[in-house]
Each structure stands twice: as C-alpha cells, then as structure tokens.
Chains A and B, each alone.
Chain A
Amino acid sequence: MKNILFLMLLVSFLFSANTLFSDDTEIGGFLKSDYRFLVDKDKEDVPFNDTFSNLHIKLHKDVSDNIAIEASGETRVYGMTGVSTPADMSDPNKQYVVDPMLWEMYVDFYDLGIEGIDLRIGKQIIAWGKADRINPTANLNSDDFSDIFNFGEQIPTFATKLNYELNEEFAIELIWLPTMKPALMPRDASIQMGGELKSVLAPYQEKLGSLPAGMVVTNPTVRVNTPEYDLRHSMQAVKIKGTLFEIDYSLSYLHGYDDIPTPEKVNISLTTDGNTVNTEIDMNFFEYNVLGMDFAGELAGMGWWIESALFLPVDGVNVAVTAPDFTTGQSNTQHTEIFDDSPYVKATIGIDYTFSWSMYINLQYAHGLPMERGKEENINDYIFARIEQKFNHDKLKLIMNLAGGITNKDDIENNYGYLVNPELKWFPYDSTELTLGGDIIGGKGNNFFTSLESYEMLYIQAKVNF
C-alpha cells in the first residue's frame, strides 16, 4: 500500500511539476510492456514472469544557466500475483506485483567556480565504458538483473561526481559513493545468487539428507550484510579521459565492492532438544580495487573499442562452516576458500560497421560477464554478434542477436552455450516501437546459457515514448 501511495505521489508530483515550476520544465518518459510465452511446455514449472511492464517518468528543469535538476521514477509491474493469503484476495493492489521506485534524482552544477567544472550530486547512473552493454569498467552502479533478458542494465546509485574538462581533449572525473548497493535480483527468482554457497554446502547436504528419523531440518536463515555505512566503507573512483591521436581513451581506478554477495559464515546447529537442525548463513560483499581502461577509434571505416578491467580483491573469500558431528554432537569449524586475493581480468573487444545497404553489424568478444567474478577460472569467454537491417526509412528493423560462450576450453563439447535472438521491430508512428521476438537457447554443462534454457520464449513488446 505504501508503494502505491508513493507511486501516486510521484506521478502527481511529476505531472503537476509543469504548473508548479514553469513552462520550461520538461516532462518525458516511456511506457514499455512485454508479453512473453515460454515455448517449452515441459519446463512450464520454472519461475517466470509472463508480463513485465515499465512506466518511466522523467522531470527535468534548468533552474538557471548553471543549475539543473532532474528526477525520474520508474514503476515495474510484474505478471505474477501478490496474493498469498485469503485477505490479499480482496486487495486490488495484490493482483499484480507492483514495484514503484525512485530512479534518478540529482542536481547539476555547471562551470562551478571555474569554467569546465561540473558537479552532479544525487542518485544517478554513471555510464562508464566504451563497449556495447558489456562494460567491465562499469562497476559504480549496481547491476540490474531484475529482467534477465534486459542485459547490461544498471540501477542508479547515490553519488557525487565532479568532472573537470581542462580542454577539449582532456578531462578528469572524481566520484564518491557514500555506500555500495547490492545488485537488484529478479522478482521471479529466474536468476539466483549464491552459486558459491551451493558448492560450500554440498558436503553437508549429504549428511543433512541422511539424518536419523524424526529430525527436522529447518529452512536456512540467510543474512545479507552490506558494508558499514561510514567513510571507510564508501566507494571512490577517479578517471582521466580524452582524445589522443584520434583515439578516445580513458584510464580509471575504483575502490569499491562487488554487488553480488558471497557466503562468509555458515552455522549449522542442533537445537537443545536435539531434534531440529538450523542453518544460519551470513553473506558479505567482497571489497576490491579495479584498474580500468578503454579505447575507441576508427580503422578503415570500422568503429572499434577495447575495454578492460583488472580486479584486485582486497582479501580472498573464505567461508567458515561450523557444523555438528551428528553422532557426537560436537561442533567443528572448517574453512573453505571460495577465492583468494589473486587479481583477475575482464575485457570486451568490439567492432562495428555499417554497409551501404543499411545493414549494421556489431561484433564483440567478452572475457567475463557482469555476474562472473572472484577468480580467473570463473571468467569465461563469449562472442556476441548483432546484425541489423533497416527497411523503409527506419520504419522496420530486422535484428539478429547471437551469443555463444565456452566455459571449459579443454572440454568444449560438454561446456558451451548459445543464444539466438531474432527480433522484428516496427516503428508505425513517431516514438512508438513494436517488437516481435524469440529466444532459442542451448548448450551443455553448467553455464550462463544453460541456466536460461528453460526460458526459450516468444515475446511481444510495445514501447511508447512521451
């Protein structure tokens, strides 16, 4: 109910803003609605949102030549029901799961004191990286995994960003985030965090599965502990960027935290009556430093880019698992190393080219995806291709997205995955976009693609900008 009230207030505020402020206050946004149909009936019991709608409203006001404010709100409506009790059945707000949220909200100061200095304070997206959607250097905002097929999205984070453009060819950017924010996970649990947890708990699952009759294993209690909210645990970044020999470049440094938690402590215990087994799990976000660089330029009419990040974990991730010996009742603590503090690299290299017959091709090789982290063995290799053909003065666009990955080069036959995503986009009117598409997903082994195999689908999407 609070959510709905918030949404109503936000929408009323944004719609009345024009009157409240002045005629030059800009209001815009988009409404997007997806309808998805799983094609494999054998997998119809997977958690899945068959509809996903999105209303985004943005307000922008130039207060003066040197000050601007911007606020935006987004409401996501999921097809799943929010009804879980008989009482919920009489609540219209429980028919669907509705998530209203403040998206961005910041103030901009231009040429602050000195010409060329811009300061942005507030909740914002800081779009780092020159690669296309797979940006290893973009670690300031949290990843938005809420829609598994909206790849590469991030959510805004409170930050202070100071940009000083010394001249047209060189600028420096300083960023401070008071605290890290975890990644946003999907409502339908189609992506689950804690892959490492499964491997840590595996040796204990067998024991828990063969407990004496009458013993009850309760559902685990999982605590996600974010870093302390203090200066020591804030995030800081610096970036220099410019153009040299016709090549756009940037070099960056970030001190921060990974946005997906890893297990730190697991405590399996017997209650005093000896009949119940409780499991408590503490999860933390590991701290790292990241050195990043990106370059973009042109060669023989072809656009190219290279973006790379070297991740330097401050400490390794070591899980302490305390579990009782079910015969003696005595507890033992064992340490399992998930990963050590060895550095690891992620990189994306890409090219694009437009042919004279309005065909656009974009090819990328990626070493690492946003959810892969921790150690070099976890970072896999992927190829992405996007082929677009425009027709009828951009009124119609046929797109083919292709992706493939290998998780074990020594045994490719059993460790690969692929995704084929054809799309037809039609722009029947100004600011209107209708999409018909589908996903074919396959592969072998345990990898990103095979984890999505249940989500082969057809979809229809409508988007209207206003």
Chain B
Amino acid sequence: MNKTMILTGIMTFLFTITIFAGNADNYLKKVDEMIDPGKDMTGTVKMVLIDKSGKSEERDMKTYRKGEKKIFFFQKPAGVKGVAFLSLSDSKMYIYMPAFKKIRRIASSAKNENFMGTDMSYEDLAETNYSKKYTPTIVSETDKYVVLKLTAKKGGDAAYSKLIIKADKKTWLRKSIDLYNKAGKLVKKMKVTKSSIIGGYPTPSEILMKDISSGHSTKMVMNNIKYDSGLKSSLFSKRKIKRIK
C-alpha cells in the first residue's frame, strides 16, 4: 500500500512537472512569436540616453526586419550618422562604419557590449527567439500575467545566465525583463512602458532599459511602424547596408 502511494505521489509529481514545463515551453513559444510579429516590419526609433543625473542625449534610427534578419540604421546625431547594424542571425552580425567605408563582423565576445553608448547590447537588439537559448520555468502566474524564469542552456551562446520575463497572457508581449549576467548578477532591467495594436499585431511602442550599476537608462520610442509591407530579402545584405536610408 505504502509503495503504491509513494509511486502514485512520484507519478503525480512528475506529471505536474511535465505539465508545468510543457506550459512554460508553450508560454515561451508564444512570447517568442510576439518578439517579431508579422512577415516584416519597418519603423523609426528614438533612443533617449539618460545618465544618472538626468542629462540626456538622443539617437534617431530607422529599423527594418524580415524574419530574424534585422537592420538598425543611425540617422542622428552627426557623430553616428550612417552607422548601420545588420543582424543576419544570432551568430552573424555586422556593423558598417561610414568613416572607414568598411563593414566589420561583430565577434560574439562583443555582442554583450553596449550598442553605440545605449543600454541595449547588440544581442538585446538582435534577439528573436528565447527558446533556442534558454530553458523556461514558470515562477508565478495570474489570469493576466505569467512570470517565466529563463535559464541559459548549457553549451549555448546566450549572453545572459538568467532572464526573468513577465509576459501579458492576452497579447504575449513582454512587460518586463530582469537580465542577469553570466556571474548571476542582475545587470539590467527592461520595462515596456507603452504598447498598442498596429496592423493587428500587439507592439511595444516605448521601452525603458536601465543599467543597474551605473543608473544609466535608455528609453526607446518606436514610431511609424508598418508591418507586412513586402520588404525584399536582398535588403538584408552587406551590400545594401552601405546605402540604406
């Protein structure tokens, strides 16, 4: 009898774990689908860099996306105008520096670097799919939100050791993310402060990323977003980023 009870207990426990893990995987899949919705997307981004004392600087960019391929092109200020970042996949990123007329590949050691002085890293901007690099577990869940803990898969090339993502169960937009470095220390906090439905897709229109240690933060304001405008795949090439506008 005792043996049967123990066995039943174990089975129930394993079943529950499996169900939760299955749920976590499903939830993360839904979050992934909403990172880059639609076939393609264009838009403008205003990045406001705010230091600890409240002093701010602005960067204006244009962004293009098709599938997992992304381009960020700086329009302002003059010091970075023409700089273009091309992400073809997690492992293949390039930057075009017009002053040198050269395209340089970004080594993965640099992917966690601040992108042109902002609080976003190259990897943050290029992120398209958490499921590939992280294993999710559910931390908490309500009717409205689910909080997932994402742990970097062993042997993978995730830039962070752990992410705590709070997702909206209606839109599956990420509402906030806590980002932990490889040493397990909380280094950044990301928060979606505004979102709307554009072209039928839930879209974050204002994001705040804060660097915990320096107090520096970056506000990203997205405008003029258009989905499914039929961007050509050939746009996402080293040849095109030299002249993208």
Contact = CB atoms under 8 A, between A and B. Distances in A.
B79 A393 contact: no
Contact of A354 (B80, B110, B211): B110
Given A302-B109, A303-B109, A353-B107, 20 more contacts: A28-B78, A68-B243, A115-B234, A116-B239, A118-B239, A246-B91, A246-B92, A303-B106, A352-B107, A353-B109, A354-B112, A390-B114, A393-B49, A393-B214, A394-B117, A430-B78, A430-B79, A465-B77, A465-B78, A465-B81
Interface stretch (B30-38, B97-105, B191-199): B97-105
Contacts of A118: 239
A65 to B, nearest CB: 10
Nearest to B89: A246
A163 B239 contact: yes
Interface residues of B, number: 37
A301 B113 contact: no
Given A393-B216, A432-B79, A303 B92 contact: no
Interface string B154-180: 000000000000000000000000000
Contacts of A432: 79
B57 A430 contact: yes
B181 interface: yes
A-B interface, 10 closest residue pairs, ranked by CB to CB distance from nearest: A431-B79, A303-B107, A301-B109, A354-B110, A394-B117, A127-B101, A465-B78, A430-B77, A465-B79, A431-B78
A302 B107 contact: yes
A392 B214 contact: yes
B200 to A, nearest CB: 29
Interface string B232-244: 0110010100010
B78 A355 contact: no
Nearest to B100: A127
Contacts of A354: 107, 109-110, 112-113
A165 interface: yes
B51 interface: yes
B78, B116, B214, B216 — most chain A CB neighbours (10 Å): B78
Contact of B81 (A28, A125, A168, A301): A28
A333 interface: no
B76 to A, nearest CB: 9
Contacts of B237: 165, 168
A433 B99 CA distance: 15
Interface string A110-137: 1000011010000001010000000000
Count chain A CB atoms within 10 A of each CB in B77, B109, B114 and give the residue with the most: B109
Contacts of B226: none
A147 interface: no
Nearest to B51: A393
B108 interface: yes
A353 B109 CA distance: 6
A251 interface: no
Contacts of B245: 62
Contacts of A28: 78, 81
Q: Is chain B's interface secondary structure helix, strand, loop, or mixed overall?
A: loop
B182 interface: yes
A248 interface: yes
B105 A127 contact: no
Interface in B47-67: 49, 51, 57-58
Contact of A301 (B108, B114, B117, B181): B108
A296 interface: yes
Contacts of A352: 107
Contacts of A301: 107-109
A246 B105 CA distance: 11
Contact of B114 (A125, A246, A393): A393
Nearest to A65: B245
A108 interface: yes
B125 to A, nearest CB: 16
Contacts of A433: 79
A248 B92 CA distance: 11
Contacts of B116: 394
Nearest to B119: A393
A104 to B, nearest CB: 10
A167 to B, nearest CB: 9
B114 A394 contact: yes
A430 B56 CA distance: 10
Nearest to A391: B214
A68 B102 CA distance: 19
Interface string A68-111: 10000000000000000000000000000000000000001010
Nearest to A429: B57
A328 interface: no
Contacts of A110: 243
A395 B105 CA distance: 24
Interface in A378-415: 390, 392-395
Contacts of B102: 127
A429 B80 CA distance: 13
A342 interface: no
Interface in B109-148: 109-110, 112-114, 116-117, 119
Interface string B188-224: 0000000000000000000000010010100000000
B243 A358 contact: no
A171 interface: yes
Nearest to A30: B78
Contact of B105 (A108, A303, A356): A303
Contacts of B117: 393-395
Interface in A415-461: 429-433
A248 to B, nearest CB: 6
B216 A298 contact: no
Contacts of B114: 358, 390, 393-394
A390 to B, nearest CB: 8
A125 B101 contact: yes
Contacts of A465: 77-79, 81
A466 interface: yes
A318 to B, nearest CB: 38
Interface string A266-296: 0000000000000000000000000000001
